[in-house]
Amino acid sequence: MLVENFVSERNLKKESYRADLVVAGGGITGVCAAIAAAREGIKVALIQDRPVLGGNGSSEVRVWMLGATSHMGNNNRWAREGGIIDEILVENTYRNKEGNPVIFDTVLLDKVLAEKNIKLFLNTAIYDVKKSDGHTIESVSAFNTQTQTHFEISGSYFCDASGDGIVGARAGAAFRIGAENADEYDEKFAPDKHLYGERLGHSILFYVKDTAHPVKYIAPHFAMPKEEVEKYINRIQNPNYFTPKQLGCKYWWIEYGGRLDTIADTEEIKYKLWSVLYGIWNYIKNSGKYPEAETMTLEWVGLYPGKRESRRFTGYYALNQKDIIEQHPCADAVAFGGWSIDLHPSDGVFSDKSACNQWHSKGVYPIPYRCYITPDIHNLFIGGRLMSATHVAHGSSRVMATAALGGEAIGTAAALCLREGCRPAEIAEPERMKQLQTRLVYNGAYLPQCRIEDAGNLVASARIEATSEMRMTGIPFDGGWKSLSQSAAQMLPLRKGGVPRLTVALQAEEDTELTVELRVSSKPFNHTPDTVLESVRVAVAKGEAEYDIAFAAEIPADCYAFICFMSNDRLAIRTSACRVTGLLSVFNKILPAVSNFGKQTPPDNIGVEAFEFWCPERRPDGENIAMRFSSPIDCFSVENLRTSLYRPVEQPNAWVAEWNDEMPEVSLSWDSGQSVKTIRLYTDTDVDHPMESVQWGHFDSRMPFCVKEITICDGQDRILAEIKDNYQTLVTVDLPEAVTLRTLKIRLSKPAPNIPAALFAINIQS
């Protein structure tokens, strides 16, 4: 038994800890920063003020994790983020395709706890910063409410991924809150600060479930009265926003607080959101207008609000609207974005304006390293929604999967800083930036418009052969019929020059005519079919028949061409059950959830382009369009295994085996013996699929293109490694010790009878 006598003052427990990198914030940005740094071999302290990891993506808030893919509702094909966030989303989809947020918590925790170089501090809030001089942080002070322990955590480098920027703010770094004037960065979409406001608000979500028996509901006293809900919450009357059976992220529009201080007034904002939320549920249950809600009950309500915007720190560069729309290459690209510029009225749920104002760009945009460092504090990185961006650009860059890429770049850069003995700003120098980019790409990142050569990759000097290479003479006619009530297109990777003659199968209710357009993107690295090269008309007779389509136009550069079959509701086109890495069908479809109404038609003079949306269907739909080619499409060479892109861009960038190659083999050989220690294979886990982390749910747990079984042998067929149940993008084989060989063989299983084996790249290090 412990008995403590009265004392005038009792000190709480104090502990000290030192790390190479101290990461403030256990949201997805901080998680990716910590994992990246730990895997680079440095000691990391990850400090999170909540009991779970994930921030807005955790079970406490339950926002699905998204980025450039935007629910497959934009033209950003093959745009899911790579590297660590890809690994996390693939793992979650494999374990948790239903999107249970509690399971996603365990996926994140599992990833962090697996890293021996990470010391995790949960329930630990940072409240102070100590500096060794005016521009250098020495340590942070934090308090764990569960253990009643004060921590002094020191480090060589610090990453502020805390959402509200407690470390950077206490350290004195310059920041902004609110919107810039339109002329400061020539941003024509900058909001009218008086009418629209200049900050995004917070949201609290809720889940419901059907109990199959009547459930009554008595609202708490603080709930907004039903008559006020009907009067002020105008979206309750709009079926595009509201149905009683919606749940979770579908209620993102229950937003408030943009006119208040989104840091200091967070508790006030939370109580107001609870009032609105419980008032809405009371209206659903007790207004008499929703009889279908009689058996429904509240299953979960968020306990604290998900934040969109507060501080944005001043970096060496501020991402802005033109960067997103124009997508210029940048020498220090370390991440990319592609979510729409998504601004909301500051009055949130009480606004009479649309709940969001989303404008998409025609493709993904690079994010410079300079956005993640500040000139004010020499050993501080700034990540997540704190990164250096204007209010307008923040409308796109703030989303979690985009922020995660910045986190991985920060963690990798911190390790490089430690090795080089330099400041974060010095990583921006060309030679060090090349080192950082090479390491990010080695770990699976995609850097738009960057071609990264890894000097250490032994594949560069190898002769590469394979048992087969896809020479695509057609897409088999083995699927069903797809109505052309909406325009459909087959994306084909073509070389500069002439287009093969195509043969397709059509089914017509009556004699009619089909318009077929040959389109490409005005930017070859994008996938918006905004340039019509030629249009042909095909007379179609009633019944089923095959038709030849010939184009005289030539493809201006190696790129994806769109063979567009324009809408005709009297026609259907034959599809194929076969799926191939780098092939995709798309449709001029509508997805209101991301403000896609078939065509983007912005108001004049807001600096945003007009264009059509051509988007895929989710599996199990989304079959390719069956067709034969007069000459083979020859873009799937084994030479593609030298690439560093790991995804289709202008071309598939993948080696694909022939349809009938059941156990394909790739062989690499050298004239002299090579010391081999690490082998990395980059498989196809369908980076066109968004893999929303929670709630949405997915048809597949394992992506259909991904090779499951891999055997690696030397030239004498001695097995060096076997992988039996792969589902991940990046397969890493670290041999127990380096082996010297002149030939390396990689044997793959065919993923499915209708899917040929494929790999994007191989990287071999000594």
pLDDT tens-digit readout, 479-497:
999 999 999 999 999 999 9
Q: Classify 543 as helix, strand or coil.
A: strand
Tens digits of residue pLDDT in 699-714: 999 999 999 999 999 9
Residue 237 has pLDDT above 90, yes or no: no
- Please write the tens of the pLDDT for every residue from 612-626: 999 999 999 999 999
Which percentage of the chain shows pLDDT scores above 90? 94
Q: How far apart are CA 321 and CA 341, in angstroms?
A: 8
Of 519, 565, 509, the C-alpha closest to 541 is 509
- The residue among 108, 99, 258 whose CA lies nearest residue 177 is 258
How many C-beta neighbours within 10 Å does residue 552 have? Answer: 10
Examine the pLDDT at 177 and tell me if it is beyond 90. Answer: yes
pTM (predicted TM-score): 0.97
pLDDT confidence bin for 249, thresholds 50/70/90: confident
Quote the percentage of the chain above a pLDDT of 70.
100
pLDDT tier at 156, thresholds 50, 70, 90: very high
The pair of structure tokens assigned to 380 is 């501080």
Nearest to 721 by CA among 743, 740, 747, 703: 747
pLDDT, tens digit (0-9, with 9 covering 90-100), for 260-304? 999 999 999 999 999 999 999 999 999 999 998 999 999 999 999
Is 159 within 8 Å of 21 (Cβ atoms)? Answer: yes
Quote the pLDDT of residue 251: 86
Distance CA 247, CA 235 (A): 15
Region of 228 (left: φ > 0; alpha: ψ -120 to 50; beta: rest) is alpha
Three-class secondary structure of residue 110 per DSSP: helix
Task: Answer whether residue 467 shows pLDDT above 80.
Answer: yes
Give ∠ CA 151-153-157 in degrees, rounded to 5: 160
Confidence of residue 250 (pLDDT cuts 50, 70, 90): confident
Q: Which residue in the block uniquely carries the two structure tokens 């019509």? A: 532
Mean pLDDT to the nearest integer, 204-221: 95
The rounded mean pLDDT for the chain is: 96
Q: Is the pLDDT of residue 172 over 80?
A: yes
- Give the mean model confidence (pLDDT) for residues 542-568: 97
Residue range 624-638: mean pLDDT, rounded:
97
Q: Which residue, among 483, 551, 544, 546, has the nearest Cα to 516 in the 3D structure? A: 551
Task: Say whether pLDDT at 733 is over 90.
Answer: yes
Residue range 729-737: mean pLDDT, rounded: 97
Average pLDDT value for residue range 52-81: 96
The pLDDT assigned to 234 comes to: 82
